[in-house]
């Protein structure tokens, strides 16, 4: 797939992640590439005050390798949505687990590597996983 097509697919994942968590301010999602790895960084505000420099933010960094993005890009739309839902579930589980640990209720910065199985979508039926 061409670079423009891959960029569109990465943006598609970014948009899916952007609406995951409630935030009093607009969440941000960014992507950058280092070598054969793409990092998606989702940031959202969990607590805000008059001085926005003191906003409490959570950050989730998702690490995807080129082969995973290529697999995602090759999927048809309905299958890409399944992968998006899996990525959102994965991020939510990790954030919830991080915040559930003792003395870390206010800490919600995570970094995770995505396993290849997230991109395994059977032909029919889609809900078999």
- Domain spans, the chain: 3-114
Q: Are residues 72 and 80 in contact, defined by beta-carbon separation less than 8 angstroms?
A: yes
Kindly state the tokens that stand for 125: 């039926």
Q: Which residues contact 7 (CB under 8 A, 6 or more apart)?
A: none
Show pLDDT as tens, one digit a residue, over the chain (129 residues).
566 678 899 999 999 999 888 888 888 999 999 999 999 999 988 878 777 777 778 899 999 999 999 999 999 999 999 999 999 999 999 988 887 775 555 567 899 999 999 999 988 665 544
| pTM score | 0.83
CA separation for the pair 48, 24 (Å, rounded): 7
């Amino acid at each position: 797939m061409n670079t423009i097509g891959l960029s569109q697919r990465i943006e598609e994942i970014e948009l899916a992640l952007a609406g995951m968590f409630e935030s009093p301010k607009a969440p941000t999602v960014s992507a950058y590439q280092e070598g054969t790895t793409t990092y998606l960084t989702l940031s959202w505000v969990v607590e805000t005050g008059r001085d926005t420099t003191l906003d409490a933010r959570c950050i989730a960094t998702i690490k995807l390798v080129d082969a995973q993005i290529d697999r995602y890009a090759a999927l048809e739309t309905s299958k890409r949505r399944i992968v998006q839902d899996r990525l959102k579930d994965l991020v939510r589980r990790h954030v919830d687990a991080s915040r559930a640990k003792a003395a870390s209720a206010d800490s919600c910065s995570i970094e995770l590597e995505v396993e290849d199985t997230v991109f395994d979508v059977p032909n029919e039926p889609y809900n078999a996983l």
